């Protein structure tokens, strides 16, 4: 499977997926890194790995055809959003139906939606007095964080946690959950039926 990763920040989930491709855990490779800003740390990670990258410029109606063209040129057949801070245009979703996923640092449908990203999520979880949080991988649709849930992993919220403490705990599970989900897609083990997503075991 040829994977494109879209990111806006340091790219730790990009790295987790890349490492899983390199060691053979994921039967595929990252063929394109798409960054939403030129100073995104993920670009240095891509350069170090020799992965082609591009930076989005201007409004989405300008960069959407450029991205689709580049995805076609690289043979990408799957898109993973890893801390990507822009809304995915409908034209791109239509090009990859059921083949664009995102990872969110909370247990969706709770603590999702516009403005709920990064530390905003963790502060809200702590402020609400929740006893647990976690990470969610979901199919991307035309709204923020509303697509079908593919997989989740839970972590406890501990007494005295700061938002930074919780963020670090969630990020650790993201780094195992996300590659596992991408692996399942690469192996053809993910079945999507409307809002229901099933991951079949490797031997089923």
Distance CA 86, CA 79 (A): 14
Q: Which of 104, 120, 122, 175 is catalytic?
A: 104
How many helices (DSSP H) and strands (DSSP E) are in the chain? 6, 9
User: Among 155, 168, 167, 184, which residue's Cα sits nearest to residue 80?
Assistant: 184
Beta carbons of 183 and 20 less than 8 angstroms apart: yes
The region, left, alpha or beta by phi > 0 then psi within -120 to 50, assigned to residue 75 is left
**CA 23, 26, 49: angle at the middle one, nearest 5?**
55
For β-strands 29-35 and 100-104, DSSP reports them as unpaired
For this structure, is 104 an active site residue?
yes
Beta carbons of 106 and 116 less than 8 angstroms apart: yes
Catalytic residue annotation: 104
């Amino acid at each position: 499977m040829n994977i494109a990763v879209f990111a806006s920040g340091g790219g730790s989930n990009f790295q987790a997926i890349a490492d899983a491709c390199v060691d053979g855990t994921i039967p595929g490779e990252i063929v394109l890194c798409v960054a939403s800003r030129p100073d995104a740390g993920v670009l240095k990670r891509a350069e170090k790995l020799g992965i082609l990258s591009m930076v989005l410029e201007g409004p989405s109606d300008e960069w959407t055809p450029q991205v689709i063209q580049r995805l076609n040129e690289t043979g990408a057949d799957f898109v993973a959003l890893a801390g990507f801070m822009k809304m995915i245009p409908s034209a791109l979703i239509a090009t990859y139906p059921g083949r664009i996923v995102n990872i969110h640092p909370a247990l969706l449908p709770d603590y999702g939606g516009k403005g709920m990203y990064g530390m905003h999520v963790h502060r809200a979880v702590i402020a609400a007095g929740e006893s647990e949080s976690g990470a969610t991988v979901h199919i991307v649709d035309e709204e923020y964080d509303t697509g079908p849930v593919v997989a989740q992993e839970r972590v406890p919220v501990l007494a005295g946690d700061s938002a930074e403490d919780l963020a670090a705990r969630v990020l650790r599970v993201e780094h195992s959950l996300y590659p596992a989900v991408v692996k399942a897609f690469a192996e053809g083990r993910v079945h999507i039926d409307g809002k229901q997503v099933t991951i079949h075991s490797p031997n089923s």
